[in-house]
Chains A and B, each alone.
Chain A
């Protein structure tokens, strides 16, 4: 080794190098030495090292002493902190120099600033470590293969995923063989090779067969570290995603099932945006129900199928559902068909939420319940019919209980008295009373026959001229009308027709007319007004008199009752209005009364 002080051209050398004598005075140096050590001087020949680096540590001083005693000192990478606090990585060497007698006469120092490459290296190491740490925490396995050492490393988690013992020693071939034979092995082998050749990064979901023969889904991420076009290291993560894949598969199954049910369901179904009520999906059943094609429904809003009057009902229900006031939407609502007609439907809706609990879809099921509603209506009609029949039976029982019994008890007491009476005159008067009792009994039995005969079943209605019939009835009681000087004003068009049973209509008119005459006010001209007009597609007959009137507060609830009389007239039978009401109802109509004492009474018949 030539240890003589080198040529002064060393000044331009591209490395930091300096020759110093035994006292550490600079003999010669490269300019880069001054630059690297930030000395701000170009020429330091003759200057002392410790003067230039007054903070030289004890360690360095010892190094210098050791070198001067013949030792070779070096470090491949050592960290220094500069005066300004910045980090500096140096690869350095300090070697002794010798004179011709092979005696140490100084030293040669070289240093190379490797801060940049060190930082890059550390960064990779740090990332690697972070990856390993994170992987372990997240139960994600890791692996690493170094082509410098040929060593394959598997983390414990990786081994666990493979269902291997922790002391298992992996090799590349068997590692790849854990992948499910076929496409899985082909893919992983291809990627592994490509990554090694090109440094390309891969992220792939594949299936493996574990050491225990179980099939698992794994996510494999691989990276490669390249150095001068050669791969020096491959590493990556290894994650068991069986549960996720399984739930993904389950979700796909569930979605498919929903889709199948949706398409095949006999019940109408819609998927709706719960916020703006836009329809996003419509199944064939709802299309059939509403008689629209799918494309039309899918581009519509639910509101378009609901009348304006009913829309708030739906809107409020959906609002309640969104505000979680109710769990399900359950309403009966009319939906508009393509024909413009409405069909009554029962709607049940369920809100579908995303993982944040925000509403995504409103799935509603729609069933045409018009048949049920029709049946319900029929049942109601039938029930009210039965109720009316029951009421009639009760009234009937009441007559038997009350009216017949009052006659029989009169007979009984009269007969007792007859036996006690001694005078012929008294006996005669009792016989007279027995006679009248017998007449009354016959009358009561006649009433019962009328009630029994009252046909509340569907009766035959025919279209008849009203005015003609009114005149016919008036003709029958013309004597009564004339005798009592009654003025009947018939304000009905000649061609006004009404659908009614002729016999019932006659009976009703007769009853109302005779009632008005019977309960007329004696001191004024009796006036009866009969009007008729169409009202809401039905016929309305107004029958008005200026008679005594009925105290509605006292007896309003009894007007149409059986055997109810209000005026104490001797010829009041208390049956007429009861019959009238039943006859009107038998024809599917209704009758109402308004009355005021001393002003008169108005009956309104709707047929």
Chain B
């Protein structure tokens, strides 16, 4: 069923392993790319010529080296045709300031606090695939 292409942008290797594994095991994504920081992901995004090659969904961490989540977003807003991408902020931070700040970015669909459960992953992907079939 899953035709979803997901990007995980996070420097925590254990976290990315678990998310990747959960998506695969529950058949929630057919393609998963992992980036260790915002810069790598942004560079990849800028190389893509065709909108259909964009990911359907991005799970973005906040604290990362080189280019953190916020800095990635500051660049991301300049990406044309980014409306086809559903972006989630995923962080261990329960600092209310982070959550407040995320509301300032229209491109952020929601702010998810780690750990990410199978159920919330399913919800994220279901919403996204239903949007795709519309």
Contacts and interface: CB of A to CB of B under 8 A. Distances in A.
Interface of A: 398, 401-403, 405-406, 408-410, 412-414, 416-417, 420, 433, 436-437, 554, 563, 565-569, 572, 574
B129 interface: no
B25 A420 contact: yes
Interface string B4-48: 000000011011011001100100000000001101000000000
7 contacts: A405-B92, A406-B114, A413-B18, A417-B21, A420-B25, A554-B71, A569-B65
Contacts of A414: 14, 18
Instruction: Enumerate the 5 nearest inter-chain pairs by beta-carbon distance, A residue then B residue, closest first.
Output: A409-B115, A406-B92, A565-B65, A413-B18, A405-B92
Interface string B76-102: 000000000000000111110000000
A473 B21 CA distance: 45
A413 B17 CA distance: 10
Given A401-B92, A401-B94, A405-B94, A410 B22 contact: no
A416 B119 CA distance: 13
B14 A437 contact: yes
Contacts of B14: 410, 414, 433, 436-437
Given A409-B115, A410-B12, A413-B115, A572 B94 contact: no
A137 B63 CA distance: 96
A565 B116 CA distance: 25
Given A405-B93, A554-B71, 8 more contacts: A401-B95, A405-B92, A406-B15, A410-B15, A413-B15, A554-B67, A568-B36, A572-B65
A536 B72 CA distance: 43
Contacts of B12: 406, 410
B66 interface: yes
A409 B71 contact: no
Given A401-B93, A420-B25, A567 B17 contact: no
Contacts of B116: 413
Given A406-B114, A412-B115, A568 B37 contact: yes
A561 to B, nearest CB: 10
A566 B65 CA distance: 5
Q: Report which residue of A401, A420, A433, A568 has the largest number of chain B beta carbons within 10 angstroms of its beta carbon.
A: A568
B11 A409 contact: no
Contacts of B37: 568
A413 B95 CA distance: 21
Contact of B22 (A413, A437, A569): A413
A556 B114 CA distance: 28
B92 A409 contact: yes
Contacts of A406: 12, 15, 92, 114
Nearest to A416: B118
Nearest to A565: B65
Interface of B: 11-12, 14-15, 17-18, 21-22, 25, 36-37, 39, 63, 65-67, 71, 91-95, 114-116, 118
B66 A410 contact: no
Contacts of B67: 554
B18 A410 contact: yes
Contacts of B21: 417
Contacts of B71: 554
Contact of B95 (A398, A409, A417): A398
A376 to B, nearest CB: 32
A360 to B, nearest CB: 61
Contacts of A568: 11, 36-37, 39, 65-66
Contacts of B18: 410, 413-414, 417
Contact of A409 (B17, B22, B65, B114): B114
Nearest to A572: B65
Contacts of B15: 406, 409-410, 413
A567 B65 contact: yes
A203 to B, nearest CB: 88
B97 to A, nearest CB: 10
Contacts of B25: 417, 420
Nearest to A412: B115
Contacts of B65: 565-569, 572, 574
Nearest to A433: B14
Given A402-B91, A409-B114, A412-B115, A433 B66 contact: no
A567 B114 contact: no
A405 B95 contact: no
B66 A566 contact: yes
Nearest to A414: B18
Contacts of B94: 401, 405
A299 B22 CA distance: 92
Nearest to B66: A568
Contacts of B66: 566-568
Contacts of B11: 568
Contacts of A567: 65-66
A402 B61 CA distance: 12
A406 B61 CA distance: 11
Contact of A402 (B17, B36, B63): B63
A29 B93 CA distance: 143
A157 to B, nearest CB: 87
Nearest to A434: B14
B92 A403 contact: yes
B122 to A, nearest CB: 14
A194 to B, nearest CB: 100
Nearest to B11: A568
A433 B21 CA distance: 13
Q: Report which residue of B14, B37, B67, B116 has the largest number of chain A beta carbons within 10 angstroms of its beta carbon.
A: B14
Nearest to B10: A406
Contacts of A408: 115
A400 to B, nearest CB: 10
Contacts of A410: 12, 14-15, 18, 115
Q: Report which residue of A403, A408, A410, A433 has the largest number of chain B beta carbons within 10 angstroms of its beta carbon.
A: A410
B95 to A, nearest CB: 6
B125 to A, nearest CB: 17
